[in-house]
Amino acid sequence: MNSLFRRLREYPCAPPADGGPGSPSGAAPLGVQPTLEIAGEQRIPSPTDEQIRAAVGSLDACTTYAFLILDRDARHSMEISGDAREGFEVEHYDGVSGRRYRGVGDFGAEQIITLLIAYRNNAAGWPALAQWEEVDE
């Protein structure tokens, strides 16, 4: 098991939401809902862990446009492309800095699910779940 996958497996899927220790820092303001877009055809407001898992599992690069976009808020998004058979690629946009980053390497389905859940929750340390390189646009 590579070190990235080991780190992903050890990462809690959903941090406490009660504002106590372990709660996401810098969470989106109240009233802002993350939205998951599946292949440009379906939008799911406030996706659950199960909906994220199902969306990742539904991607098939041979038969559909195989991409997901998770908008955490108006300024932050994560984009996934690929499928479980061929592997996934991931990018995220940081609207505060105006920069786009790409995950280095291919990712498996479980890695993507864990990363999307951590990103949705704005969990402290989610960027450490992958190695990122800035994308020149």
Is residue 40, in this structure, part of any structural domain at all? Answer: yes
Is residue 30, in this structure, part of any structural domain at all? Answer: no
Is residue 18, in this structure, part of any structural domain at all? Answer: no
Is residue 55, in this structure, part of any structural domain at all? Answer: yes
Is residue 21, in this structure, part of any structural domain at all? Answer: no
Domain that includes residue 119, residue range: 35-135
The pLDDT tens digits of the residues spanning 82-116 come to 999 999 999 999 999 999 999 999 899 999 999 99
Give the pLDDT score at 4. Answer: 37
CA 52, 54, 59: angle at the middle one, nearest 5? 100
pTM for this one? 0.75
Contact 134, 100 (CB under 8 A): yes
Domain count across the chain: 1
CA distances from 8 to 74, 78, 107, 125 (A): 26, 17, 11, 11
Distance (Å, rounded) from C-alpha 99 to C-alpha 71? 15
Distance (Å, rounded) from C-alpha 34 to C-alpha 78? 11
Is residue 1, in this structure, part of any structural domain at all? Answer: no
